[in-house]
Chains A and B, each alone.
Chain A
Amino acid sequence: MSFRRFFRRREWDEERARELDEHIALEVELNLARGLSPQEARRQAYIRLGNPTAIREEIWKMNSLVSIEDLGRDIRYAIRQLLRSPGFAIIAIVTLALGIGVNTAIFSMVNGLVFSSMHIEQQNQVRLIAIRQKGQSWQPALSYAEFRQISDATKGVFSGLIADQFGLDGVTMKGSKPDRAFTDYVSGNYFPTLGVHPLLGRFFTPSEGLTPGADPYIVLSYAYWKNHFAADPNIVGRQISLDGRPMTIIGVAPENYRGLSSILEAQAYIPLAMIVPIENLPITDFNKQANRNTRVEGRLQPGITPQQADAALTLAARQIAAAHPAEERDLELHGFSLQAGRLTGGIDDDNSFNTVSAIFLGLASLVLLLACVNVANLLLVRATVREREMVIRSALGAQRFRLIRQMLTESLLLALLGGIGGVLLGRLASGLLASVNLESDLPIHFDFGFDWHVLAFSITIAVLAGVFVGSVPAIRLARANLNLILREGGRGIAGRSHKLRDALVTIQVATALLLLVVAGLFTRSLSQNEHVDLGFDPNHVLTMMIDPSEIGYNTTQSAQFFRGLMPRLRALPGVVAATSAQSIPMGLIDNGSDSVTIDGYTPPPGQPQPQINNNLIGSDYFRTLSIPILEGRAFNDADNDKAAYVAIVSKAMAEKYWPHQDPIGRRFTMGADPTHPMQIVGVAGDARYGNLAGTGQAAFFYVPYFQHSDLNTLQAIELRTAGDPAAMTQEVEQVIHGIAPALPIFEVKTLHQALYSPNGLLLYEVVAALAGVMGTLGLILAVVGVYGVLSYAVSQKTGEIGVRMALGAQRSDILRMVFIHGLWIVGIGLAVGLGASFGAARLLRSMITVSAVDPATFVAVPAILAVIALLACWIPARRATRTEPMEALRVQ
Chain B
Amino acid sequence: MVRSNKEQEMLLGTLDMLVLQTLITGPAHGHTIAHVIEHTSDDVLQIEQGSLYPALHRLEDRGWVSSYWGPSENNRKARYYRLTALGRRQLHKQTHRWQTMVDAIGRVLAKAGKTAD
Point out the residue from B1, B54, B58, B74 that lies within 8 Å of A25, measured CB to CB: B74
Complex Cα spacing A875 to B35, Å = 76
Which residues of the other chain, B, contact A394 by a CB distance below 8 angstroms? 1-2
Task: Decide: B76 and A50 in contact? CB cutoff 8 A.
Answer: no
> Which residues does A use to contact B, with CB under 8 Å?
1-2, 15-16, 18-20, 22-23, 25-27, 29-30, 48-52, 54-55, 58-59, 62, 394-395, 397-400, 483
Closest Cβ of chain B to A392, distance in Å, is: 12
Among A25, A55, A399, A483, the residue within 8 A (CB) of B76 is A25
Any chain A CB within 8 A of the CB of B31?
A: yes
Q: Smallest Cβ distance from B5 to chain A, in angstroms?
A: 9
Residue in B29, B30, B31, B54 whose CB lies within 8 Å of A59: B54
Given contacts A58-B54, A62-B54, 17 further A-B contacts (CB under 8 A): A2-B61, A18-B79, A19-B53, A22-B30, A22-B77, A22-B78, A25-B76, A26-B72, A26-B73, A26-B74, A49-B49, A50-B49, A50-B50, A52-B50, A394-B1, A394-B2, A397-B2
Across the interface, do A26 and B31 meet the contact criterion of CB distance under 8 Å?
Answer: yes
What 0/1 readout, one digit per residue, does chain B (1-40) give for beta carbons within 8 Å of chain A? 1100000000000000000000000000111000100000
Q: Is B57 at the interface (CB under 8 A from chain A)?
A: yes
Query: Is A48 in contact with B53, judged by CB distance below 8 angstroms?
Result: no
Known: A15-B79, A26-B72. Is A51-B50 also a contact (CB below 8 A)?
A: yes
Leading 5 A-B pairs by shortest Cβ distance: A50-B50, A26-B31, A19-B79, A49-B49, A58-B54
Q: Which residues of A contact B77 (CB under 8 A)?
A: 18, 22
Give me the interface of B with A, judged by CB distance under 8 Å.
1-2, 29-31, 35, 48-51, 53-54, 57-58, 61, 72-74, 76-79
Q: How long is the Cα–Cα vector from A399 to B4 in the complex, in angstroms?
A: 10
Measured between beta carbons, the chain B residues less than 8 angstroms from A23 are: 29-31, 49
Expressed in whole angstroms, the minimum distance between the Cβ of B12 and any Cβ of chain A is 12
Please give, as numbers and ranges, the residues of chain A lying within 8 Å of B1 by CB-CB distance.
394-395, 483
Complex CA distance for A507 and B29, rounded to whole angstroms: 63
List chain B residues, Cβ under 8 A from A49.
49-50
Residues of B within 8 A of A62 (CB): 54, 57-58, 61
| Inter-chain contacts of B35 with A (CB < 8 A) | 30
Cα of A395 to Cα of B1 in the assembled complex, Å: 5
A29 to B75, CA, bound (A): 13
Q: Which residues of B contact A58 (CB under 8 A)?
A: 54
Q: Which residues of B contact A52 (CB under 8 A)?
A: 50
> Cα distance A19–B33 when bound, in Å?
13
Are A19's CB and B30's CB within 8 A?
yes
15 A-B pairs, CB-CB below 8 angstroms?
A: A16-B53, A19-B29, A19-B53, A22-B30, A22-B72, A23-B31, A26-B72, A49-B49, A50-B51, A52-B50, A54-B50, A55-B50, A59-B54, A62-B54, A397-B2
Q: What residues of B have a CB within 8 angstroms of the CB of A2 in the complex? A: 61
* A399 with B2: CB separation less than 8 A: yes
How far is B50's CA from A27's CA once the two chains are assembled, in angstroms? 13
Query: From B46, which residue of chain A is reached at the shortest CB distance?
Result: A48
Residue of A nearest to B61 (CB): A1
Query: What's the nearest-Cβ distance from chain A to residue B10, in Å?
Result: 18
* Distance of A673 Cα from B73 Cα, bound (Å): 111
The residue in chain B whose Cβ has the minimal distance to the Cβ of A402 is: B2
CB distance from B43 to the nearest CB of A (A): 12
- Docked-complex contact A22 and B31, CB < 8 angstroms: yes
| Residues of B contacting A397 in the complex (Cβ-Cβ under 8 angstroms) | 2
**Bound: A58/B53 CA distance, A:** 9
Q: Give Cα A496 to B1, complex, Å.
A: 23
B16 CB to nearest A CB, Å? 14
Name which residue of chain A comes closest to B5, CB basis: A399
Within the complex, the shortest CB–CB distance from A211 to chain B, in Å, comes to 79
Contact assessment for A55 and B53 in the assembled complex, using a CB-CB cutoff below 8 Å:
yes
Contact B78 A48 (CB under 8 A): no
The residue on A at minimum CB distance from B50 is A50
Known: A394-B1, A394-B2. A19 touches B78 (CB 8 A): yes
Q: Which residues of B contact A400 (CB under 8 A)?
A: 2
Cα distance A2–B58 when bound, in Å? 11
Question: Complex formed: what's the CA distance from A15 to B60 in Å?
Answer: 14
Residues in B with CB closer than 8 Å to A483 are 1
Min distance, Cβ B22 to any Cβ of chain A, angstroms = 15
Distance in angstroms from B73 CB to nearest chain A CB is 7
For A21, give the chain B residue with the smallest CB separation.
B76
Min CB distance B39 to A, Å, is 12
Q: Once the chains are docked, how many angstroms separate the CA of A398 from the CA of B1?
A: 8
Q: Give min CB distance, B98 to chain A, whole Å.
A: 24
Residue with the highest number of chain B CB atoms closer than 10 Å, among A1, A23, A400: A23
Are A20 and B57 in contact, with the CB atoms below 8 A? no
B58 / chain A contacts, CB cutoff of 8 Å: 62
Q: Which residues of B lie under 8 Å from residue A51 when comparing CB positions?
A: 50
User: In the complex the two chains form, is A48's CB within 8 Å of B49's CB?
Assistant: yes
- What is the bound-complex CA distance between A94 and B111, given in angstroms? 68
Residues of A within 8 A of B50 (CB): 49-52, 54-55
Minimum C-beta distance from A286 to chain B (A): 79
Contact partners of A30 in chain B: CB under 8 A? 35
- Residues on A with C-beta less than 8 A from B79 are 15, 18-19, 22
- The answer to whether A59 and B57 have CB atoms under 8 Å apart is yes
Contact A27 B31, CB 8 Å, known A394-B2, A399-B2:
yes
Minimum CB–CB distance for B33 against chain A, Å: 10
Contacts of B54 in A (CB 8 A): 55, 58-59, 62
A881 to chain B, nearest CB (A): 42
Please report the C-alpha to C-alpha distance between residue A373 and residue B78 in the assembled complex, in whole angstroms.
61
Given contacts A16-B53, A22-B72, A25-B74, contact A50 B48 (CB under 8 A): yes
Q: How far is the CA of A1 from the CA of B51 in the complex (A)?
A: 18
> Taking the nearest CB of chain A, how far is it from the CB of B52, in angstroms?
9
Q: Shortest Cβ distance from B11 into chain A, in angstroms?
A: 15
CB neighbours (8 Å) of B53 from chain A are: 16, 19-20, 55, 59
Nearest neighbor of A1 in chain B, beta-carbon distance = B61
Q: Which residues of B contact A26 (CB under 8 A)?
A: 31, 72-74, 78
Q: How far is the CB of B8 from chain A (nearest CB, A)?
A: 11
A822 to B86, CA, bound (A): 59
Query: How far apart are the CA atoms of A273 and B73 in the complex, in Å?
Result: 97
Task: Decide: A22 and B76 in contact? CB cutoff 8 A.
Answer: yes
| Chain B hits for A399, CB < 8 A | 2
Q: How far is the CA of A816 from the CA of B30 in the complex (A)?
A: 74
Q: How far is the CA of A553 from the CA of B49 in the complex (A)?
A: 105
Least Cβ distance of B109 to chain A in Å? Answer: 30
Contacts of B2 in A (CB 8 A): 394, 397-400
- Once the chains are docked, how many angstroms separate the CA of A134 from the CA of B73? 94
Chain A residues contacting B49 (CB-CB under 8 Å) are 23, 27, 48-50
A420–chain B nearest beta-carbon distance, Å: 36
Q: B residues within 8 A CB of A48?
A: 49
Q: How far is the CA of A26 from the CA of B74 in the complex (A)?
A: 8
Cα distance A54–B49 in the bound complex, in angstroms: 12
- By a CB distance below 8 angstroms, the chain A residues around B72 are 22, 26
Chain A residues with CB below 8 A from B31, complex form: 22-23, 26-27
